Homo-oligomer: A and B are copies of this chain.
């Protein structure tokens, strides 16, 4: 096993542990145990406990980015591309839900410990930029309104996605993955699409 393979295996185990148990509940010895290695080896890859969380988020973001790029690349129409991105970010059970758990852990740390913010902002910017690029693409293609600021729309959509995911992940009654999906799609339809579909008549 190369150094890089071992690092990857430790990261994969680590982020799953944090996603399931929470950052503070995971000890270096838990990671070592799951990986069948020593705490010394884990410390070699993560010099401090904080590195564990930052590297886990980085790993998640990179995995998600590769997954999304692969899926989105083949979709020409910007509206379809945005719907696919929304769909891929829904916190269904499994991997995506676990990735959301890492984000929530990270936010809780970043609010009280400013040293966590630069890495967060770098990862967050990548997501924001993905949305901005899709909006610009749709404006060029004529499917999205050109009086909408791609930057402002991306701020709105990312914030709405985060807030809705929190409601799903904390089990807010009535807030399911499919309600979240409708919420995001409805927003895009009302505020971004050129051709607004018929909405119900005012009562």
The chain A residues found within 8 Å of chain B, CB to CB, are 19-25, 100-101, 104-105, 107-114, 117, 120-121, 124-125, 145-147, 152, 155-156, 158-164, 166-167, 169-173, 175, 179, 183, 186-187, 190-191, 199-203
Contacts and interface: CB of A to CB of B under 8 A. Distances in A.
Contact of A169 (B25, B107, B160, B161): B107
B159 A121 contact: no
A146 B202 contact: yes
Contacts of A23: 24, 108
A156 B114 contact: no
B163 A22 contact: no
Contact of A121 (B22, B107, B171): B171
B203 A147 contact: yes
A109 B109 CA distance: 12
A47 to B, nearest CB: 20
A169 B109 CA distance: 11
B147 A201 contact: yes
Contacts of A120: 170
Determine how many copies of this chain the complex contains.
2
Contacts of A19: 112
B159 A164 contact: yes
Contacts of A24: 23-24
B171 A117 contact: yes
B25 A170 contact: no
Contacts of A22: 108-109, 111-113
11 contacts: A23-B24, A107-B170, A110-B171, A147-B199, A147-B200, A155-B164, A159-B160, A159-B162, A159-B183, A163-B164, A191-B191
B107 A101 contact: no
Given A121-B172, A147-B199, A162-B162, A108 B108 contact: yes
Given A112-B20, A162-B163, A147 B202 contact: yes
